[in-house]
Amino acid sequence: MGILHESALGEEEVAMYSWWVYLHILGAFAFVFAHGASALAAFRIRATRDPAQVRTLLDVSSMALGVMYVGLLLLLIGGIAAGIVGDHFGRGWIWAALVILVVITVAMYAMATPFYGQLRVAAGARAKEAKVDPNPVVNQADIDALAGSNRPAVLLGIGAIGFLLILWLMVLKPF
């Protein structure tokens, strides 16, 4: 059960497959790297209640998420193309990996977006504007409640379990 049954493909197809896998892995590294930066910011927010620091950490997390989405796009393009070239779409593991990725993405987006939006508002950050508010309206009680939440740990758990399942499927190709 190797990565690719090379006997079924010509030399050119094997080379193309390798490039698609390379793009897929590059996207995965960018995705995990940026997501890690965002997660670290989320856990650092738990350790501070200073509104200015919370705003800065939320901005760092937002910047990292931009890189994360580029990584996700590369991961998907490379993975789907490699799946087509390698004729993997007749196997269950690739479909299971895609389903898990979609479920994790939807779950994490649904849990994280409103939560961090509320935290952004509580810290006096403008949600959609690039300008810095010189007199932000801060709700310290909401910052304290949201920053002390276990939401980052729940998100980490969902992401880590999903990542490990997808990795298992892609490396071992059990079905």
pLDDT at 125: 85
Is the separation of the CB atoms in 72 and 139 below 8 Å?
A: no
Q: Which two tokens stand for residue 29?
A: 């590294």
Which whole number is the average pLDDT over 17-21?
96
pLDDT at 110: 97
Is the separation of the CB atoms in 69 and 61 below 8 Å?
A: no
Lowest pLDDT segment from 25-34, 41-50, 123-132: 123-132
Is 60 exceeded by the pLDDT of residue 129? no
For Cα atoms 25, 15, 95, give the angle at the middle one, nearest 5 degrees.
Answer: 50
pLDDT at 86: 93
Task: Tell me the percentage of the chain whose pLDDT exceeds 90.
Answer: 85
pLDDT at 1: 40
pLDDT at 131: 59
Whole-angstrom distance, CA of residue 41 vs CA of residue 124: 17
The conformation of residue 8, written as its DSSP 8-state character, comes to: G
pLDDT at 2: 46
pLDDT at 5: 53
pLDDT at 144: 94
Q: Using one digit for the tens of pLDDT, what is the confidence trace for 67-116?
A: 999 999 999 999 999 999 999 999 999 999 999 999 999 999 999 999 99
pLDDT at 128: 56
Whole-angstrom distance, CA of residue 174 vs CA of residue 158: 22
